[in-house]
Every structure is written in structure tokens, then in C-alpha cells.
Structure 1
Amino acid sequence: MNTSTHAVDMPAFVDHSHLTVIDLPMVSSFYQKAMGLSVLEKSASGETLGVAGRPLLTLTTGSNAARAPRNAPGLFHTAFLVPDRKELGRWLAHAAHNNIALTGASDHLVSEAIYLDDPEGNGIEIYRDRDRSEWTYVPDGTVKMATNRLDLQALYDEAPKDDWTGQESGTVIGHLHLQVSDIPQADAFFQDILGLDVMARYPGASFFASGKYHHHVAANVWNSRGQPKRETGMTGLAGYTIRFNDPARLETAVKKLDELAIPTTRADGAISLVDPWGISLKLSA
């Protein structure tokens, strides 16, 4: 893939996901054995996992961790982007040989995606992007996406059946899909304040990105319409990071946050806030 069109080379992208869990050893073991992440850091309350030294996922627990209801705003899925179709197939073969349960698989025109849940019900997508030359943009600037059947058998048959030892270097978080309370509120936050473009809309969902990527953030109300903000200690998505390759875009977003009197704190060059659904968000350059 041309690196200049890669998800994390865009003006802004999702860099990190942070989950609160109840059983830290069990969930961490799953992300290591099933998903192929490596532990990069450990603390008394959590672990940070990643690929080739790049931190992608932090898991923490605490005495007040309580299982979130399925309709609470928060995570729909964390989406891990692998370098190419071969790597997606290698992971599928690993999943098949280790009885890792899948929840679905789709051809989205721009990408091929496989879905599953971690042991505490946090959604996961693992996907590969098609080359942008195969994407179809429409005159309003959005991109054509669909949810078509993915031929898992063909993907498996094409894959090398070598010993899979983890995700290949270059695997990143390609996007984060959120459950939110209200789509107009999500449009206002991600488009009007953070400066992301709306790249697609489905009934009850918006897809946002920078650099004409298909989406760095998605938001839906399929399970969570009208639900109140997350409460402290709920399991699931505790926080996420959006990193800006374009510092001017970060400055513009911070100015809008200030104009709207949205509370922020600043430390180590990053801006921290709480999004409209009670999820911690860090903006960094």
C-alpha cells in the first residue's frame, strides 16, 4: 500500500484505545494469544499492548470496575488494520486453527473486515484496506461503502499456513467505532469541533475521517440511542487518543473547544478532555 494513503499518515488519526476490564489477566491473554499483540508496559493496575513496539491498546482494572450495560455509550469496536490481505488471511487461519469465535465478516468495498469480541464483550474488527485506486468517491466527497458478504473460505485458502507468531509490523488501529447517544451530537463534535470530514452515512451512523480516508472514527446509535453518559468505572472504552500529523488542525480544534468552554487540561503537549458521552479523549500532535 502507498504509505501516503495509509490511515495513520492522514492529518489526524486514532492512535490508541484504552479499555477498563474486570479480569485483566484473562483479557490481556486474549489480546496476546488471539489477536497477536505484545505486552509493552505493565503497572499495578494495567498493561499496554502493541505491535513492534508501537502502543495500541491499554487495559486497566480497578476495585470499582463494573460491567457496563450493552446499551451504554462507549465502544462498538476497536479496529486493527493489518498491512495487507495476506496478513488478514494469516490471522484468519490462526483463528480457525485455534477455535477463535467470530461474530461476522464483511466486504465494505474499501476494506475487508472480520469481527469478533474479546472475553468481556468488547467488539474487535481486524481488517485490511483495499488500495485507494479501488475506492469510489462520489461528487459530494464521500466514499462508497457497503456491507457485503466476505468470502472467508477464499481468504483462508489463499493464506499461507505457516506458524503465526503475532501481528506483523505495521499493524495499527485503523479506526475506532463508538456507540453514542445522538448522531447530530456526534456530527457536531467530530466534524464541527475536531475538524474531521463526514465520509459516509448509514441509517443511525456517521463515519468521520481526515485525508479522505474511509473513516478514522465511526459513531452509531443502534444500541445506545438516547442513553446517558458513561459512569465512572464502567467496563469498556475508558479513553482514546486522536493524534494530529497537522499541528494547525490541532490548534483549530483546541480553539473551538475553548470557544465552547469545554473543559480541557494540558500536559506533555497533549490536550485532555471528556467527550460528550463520558469517554476520556486525548488530542496530541
Structure 2
Amino acid sequence: MHADAKTATPDAPSGRPVLMPSYVEKAHLVVEDLPMMAAWYEKALGLSPIETGASGVILGVAGTPLLTLETDGAARRQPRTAPGLFHNAFLVPSRAELSRWLAHVANSRVPLTGASDHLVSEAIYLDDPEGNGIEVYRDRDRDEWEFLPEGGVKMATLPLDLQALYDEAPQERWGGMAEGTALGHIHLQVSNIPEADAFFRDVLGLDVMARYPGATFFASGQYHHHVGANVWNSRNQPKRSGAMTGLSGYRIRFNDRAALDTALAALDRQAIATTRGGEGVSLTDPWGIGLTLSA
């Protein structure tokens, strides 16, 4: 994945991933300890409760739902090798907001698992208390991305200078995630990459934007990726079955109704069972994860 010279940015909706023809709107986790997990996401991630019930809570930013936590007494802890969530990736509006959040977690002694410069973005990684992966990141301006002549975008995994980022943090008190924070992408553990290509590219109509060994990154609107799929922990593992903690579902919203209709027609041709309801069209993806498509 390299190019000798920077190529022109393709014509595409500008800016944020939620403005693209389709995007990941929110995710749904099954957890063991709902009060503890909800409190952690509020304190560490800065998400706010939007709706709370006895068995679940919807969290988000500025009234926009991004993450549902639900408890299920019958759920068993998912194995690390199971298909499911690699990480939920929360996109903050700017580098300043990323530095502000970094200072908050550093001062709160929240442990991190890594940090990377991906050329298109700067990302910080951590796990929630039940082992669900999280990325908090900011995008570089699209005119700084390098689009490749053969298609896709140049990405890499380089060190990120956390000390420099921490030193840039505004001094005022952190009050939670800034308005405009979104679920920028979701990264999944899958059983094999050809199956992921067949589903996300050939059925849902997403473009392949980058490939790493054992991973593919898919997007609409020439975003760097709305969905990542890797086999690093889960190669050839059977799909999820029974009640299990971790990612139980995610939602892809289509800003382009015609793109949704095309995806639904592809699902019908593949004889993939769907259920239509008020939330949209629901199905189970090839790895046993619930997926809702809506427009």
C-alpha cells in the first residue's frame, strides 16, 4: 500500500464519516455488570446516558445514541478468539479534543493498550473493564490523505507521540466527549477475509479502502474505513452462537436510499434471511452478529 506521489482526493462527500452514503451509526454490547460498565463509559469515555432501564442503558453524545449496553443473565463471557468486536472506534472532532480526552484518562489513571499514527488518523486504544476493545481517534483533514492510483487510501501503523499530544491539551476542565463525537467505525473479528469481502463489498456495497495482512478495511464515500475486519485472533473460528457477552449487534445507516435498496436486493439474491421492522431491516451477519440496516 504505497504510492510514489500523492494523488488527488476522489470526488466524495467531504468531512465526517456520518456524511457518507452509508456509515456505522451505533453498536450494542451485552455486558455482565451493567451498573459498573455504564459508570465506566460515562467516566472514562465521557458518554452520557440517554435512556436507562433495568436491563440496559443507551449512551451517546449531545443526545445522539452511539452505544447500547444490555445485561443478560444467561450470557457467558465470550472467548477472545470468538468472532465479534475488535474495537468500537469513537471519532472526536479535532486533535484538540483528542488531547483533552488523553489528559483526562491519564489524570484518571485509565490504562491504555496502545496508540498509533495511521496517516489518515491518530488513534489511542484501550479496553473496557470486560475486555471490549475501544479506539478513540481523530481524523486528519482529507486533503492530507494519500489516495492510491489503484484505489483505496494509504494507511500505516506508526508510533504516536502521546507526550506531545498530552502537552497540547487545553487546560480547562474536561466535561465529557465534545458534541460531534461519532462512532466513526467498527472493527470486527471475523473467521476469514474472503467471507468479509463477499459480505461487506459484494452484498453491502462498501469499497475496499486498504488491506493489511489478515485484515481488510471497507468504507463508503472514500472514507478510510467504516468497517474493519480481521482474523488476527479469530481465524477459522465458528460464528457466535447462544447468549454471549460482547458485540451483539451494530447498525449501518444509509444516507443514500438507493444504496440500501441495492444492498437489500443483494441480501435477497444470497437468500440471507431478513426481518423488516420499525428500526429497519434486521439480519445476522456471517459471524453471528446482529446487524440492522436503515435509511
TM range (shorter): over 0.9
Alpha-carbon distance in structure 2 between the residues aligned to 1:181 and 1:261: 20
Partners of 2:73 and 2:124 in 1: CA distance: 33
What's the CA shift for 1:232? Answer: 2.2
Question: What one-letter code is carried by the residue in structure 2 that aligns with 1:161?
Answer: Q
Asked whether the 8 Å contact 2:279–2:292 carries over to 1, the reply is no
* Aligned: 1:220 with 2:243: no
In structure 1, the partner of 2:5 is none
Letter in structure 1 aligned against 2:61? V
Count of matched residue pairs: 284
Paired residue secondary structure (1:257): helix
Tell me the amino acid that sits aligned with residue 129 of structure 1.
D
- The CA distance in 2 between the partners of 1:3 and 1:261, in whole Å, is 32
1:267 pairs, out of 277, 280, 292, with 277
Structure 1: 5+ residue stretches without partners: none
1:146-165 map, 5 Å: 146-165=156-175
Match of 2:14, SS state, is: helix
Q: Which moved more, 1:84-93 or 1:38-47?
A: 38-47
Question: Which of residues 107, 116, 132 in structure 2 aligns to 1:106?
Answer: 116
CA positional deviation for 1:260 = 1.1
2:60 paired residue number: 50
Residue 259 (structure 1) shift = 1.0
Aligned sequence identity (%): 68
* Per-residue deviation, 1:115: 0.1
What TM-score results when the alignment is normalised by the length of structure 1?
Answer: 0.98
Quick one: distance in 2 between partners of 1:74 and 1:152?
A: 29
SS in 1 for 2:202: helix
The one-letter code sitting in structure 2 at the alignment partner of 1:169 is: E
Q: In structure 2, how many angstroms separate the alpha carbons of the residues matched to 1:39 and 1:231?
A: 29
Deviation at residue 263 of structure 1 after TM alignment? 0.3
**Letter of the aligned partner of 1:276 in structure 2?**
P
Cα offset for 1:269?
Answer: 5.9
> Hey, what's the Cα distance between the residues in 2 that align with 1:3 and 1:275?
27
Q: Does 1:278 align with 2:288?
A: yes
Aligned equivalent of 1:124 = 134
Deviation at 1:11, TM superposition (A): 0.2
**Unaligned segments of structure 2, at least 5 residues:** 1-11
Q: How does 1:90-105 map to 2 (within 5 A)?
A: 90-105=100-115
One of 90, 112, 116 as aligned partner of 1:80: 90
Normalising by structure 2, what TM-score? Answer: 0.95
- Pairwise mapping of residues 1-285 of structure 1 onto structure 2 (< 5 A)? 4-268=14-278, 270-285=280-295
